[in-house]
A and B are shown apart, each in its own frame.
Chain A
């Protein structure tokens, strides 16, 4: 698989480490009244869809950036690649 890195261009997926569902960007609020339940879901439950999946890839053998890759889990086709930083900022996170 080739991942079209937004800064570096197409890179082989073996340069990256796979870190799972991109929903992990949204860490629960530890002060919420139901924080325990939220963290159990966050830590252990996954959507695991067959089809389009937004997921985190860490460019460990490259520039060490985190990417959000949209990939079809039934064909391995990659349709979009964004910097995880940009995705997090768009969701209102400071970094």
Chain B
């Protein structure tokens, strides 16, 4: 049954006895056409679009824990499409357009809030770079708006525009950017996929691949062997651990990224502000907490928790630009594991093993990509050809010298 305002009123008047589970707790069958490994945002979105847009059936999503318990539950919930390079910008703009229609599409309140995102500028050179970026965004159908210091002061009077080291000289705004309720994305996709017949199988860890004559025919799991026409890995953060079971080495290192939330405050911060020069960005959640973060810790980690030097560095960055932050108490910090790829961009591609597909390498930008990643991966799985916005996300781009390196850092994953 659909969700609506009318339904909420009806349930309120009848003691809320009509709400059922949002998705079935499916048991694994012996054989599927598609087995998607990973019940995070990307895996669930892939299953949904595969069933809905590409009209495929017999689809399972395998999740080793509970759905939405990985990075889709651990991020800072920002959506945006402010990329520079041709390999990236059409993809992220496609994703932002899908976000804009997502709640109607899924019949689920994901609290998509286009409150805008602002990247601060501190020098003439940076302004030139951001103007170039803004032009690239507009060429790809996205919105971009160059703001003066006065416009920023009027909108964000609490910012320290006269910081001695990084005075604010303007900003590049994307007004269509914003935030989304992250858990609701996983739950919304799960419910919608389930309604299209997808089996969501939780507590089902993949322990190995069945590979015969160079073709993957299924997976071994903690709940038995499951045969599959096509197997789709979608476990960013743990990609190397999973693909090692298929004998693959990846152009990926796993790194920990920390995020933070302050105690709940009254509404004070409209939109998302990024202070890239000081390794700090911040937004305010609908519950009132200031949600902020900075850089990855910088060493390989699967620990889902980081160390104190980065906490200090992020808070110093925040205090530099945002002095009133010092009056708020830090409530929580947590860490998520990122697939840091060799050029800072993701991979959505076939592997050299027949019937085995890969989606990963999202670095710390996977959340905003969720809808387009699912759509493009479903396109690849259903048609065996890449979606037009994701055609550059190939494994062989490193060997062919076709890197998509937004920051120009080279093959040093902890610098992207």
Contact = CB atoms under 8 A, between A and B. Distances in A.
Interface string B387-416: 000000000001100000000000111100
Nearest to A42: B411
Given A73-B302, A74-B302, A50 B398 contact: no
Contacts of B244: 47
26 contacts: A1-B307, A12-B309, A14-B309, A20-B300, A21-B300, A41-B249, A43-B342, A43-B398, A45-B249, A45-B251, A46-B240, A46-B249, A46-B250, A47-B244, A47-B249, A48-B240, A48-B249, A48-B253, A50-B238, A50-B240, A55-B300, A71-B299, A73-B301, A73-B302, A73-B303, A76-B307
A7 interface: no
A44 interface: yes
A74 B302 CA distance: 5
B241 A50 contact: yes
A5 to B, nearest CB: 16
Given A20-B253, A40-B398, A50 B302 contact: yes
Nearest to B252: A48
Contacts of A71: 299
Nearest to B396: A40
B298 interface: yes
Lowest 10 A-B CB distances belong to which pairs? A48-B240, A44-B398, A14-B309, A45-B249, A50-B302, A44-B251, A18-B299, A40-B399, A73-B300, A44-B342
Interface residues of A, number: 24
Interface magnitude class on chain B = 20 to 34
Interface in B262-312: 298-303, 307, 309
A74 B237 CA distance: 13
Contacts of B114: none
B254 interface: yes
A45 B302 contact: no
Nearest to B301: A73
Interface string A27-67: 00000000000001101111111100101000000000000
A36 to B, nearest CB: 8
A13 interface: yes
A44 B344 CA distance: 12
Given A55-B300, A73-B303, 14 more contacts: A14-B309, A18-B298, A18-B299, A18-B414, A40-B398, A40-B399, A44-B251, A45-B249, A46-B240, A47-B244, A50-B240, A50-B241, A53-B300, A73-B301
A19 B411 CA distance: 11
A75 interface: yes
Nearest to A72: B303
Interface in B100-135: none
B299 A48 contact: no
A13 B307 contact: yes
B260 to A, nearest CB: 18
Interface string B220-245: 00000000000000000010110010
Contacts of A74: 302-303
A76 B301 contact: yes
Given A1-B307, A46-B249, A47-B249, A55 B240 contact: no
B338 to A, nearest CB: 12
Interface string B316-359: 00000000000000000000000000100000000000000000
A55 B252 contact: no
Contacts of B241: 48, 50
Contacts of A53: 300
Contacts of A40: 398-399
A75 B301 CA distance: 8
A90 to B, nearest CB: 23
A48 B411 CA distance: 14
Nearest to B309: A14
Nearest to A57: B299
A40 to B, nearest CB: 5
Contacts of A75: 303
A60 to B, nearest CB: 12
B309 A13 contact: yes
Contact of A47 (B240, B299, B301, B399): B240
A84 B249 CA distance: 24
Given A47-B240, A73-B254, A73-B303, A20 B249 contact: no
A76 B250 CA distance: 22
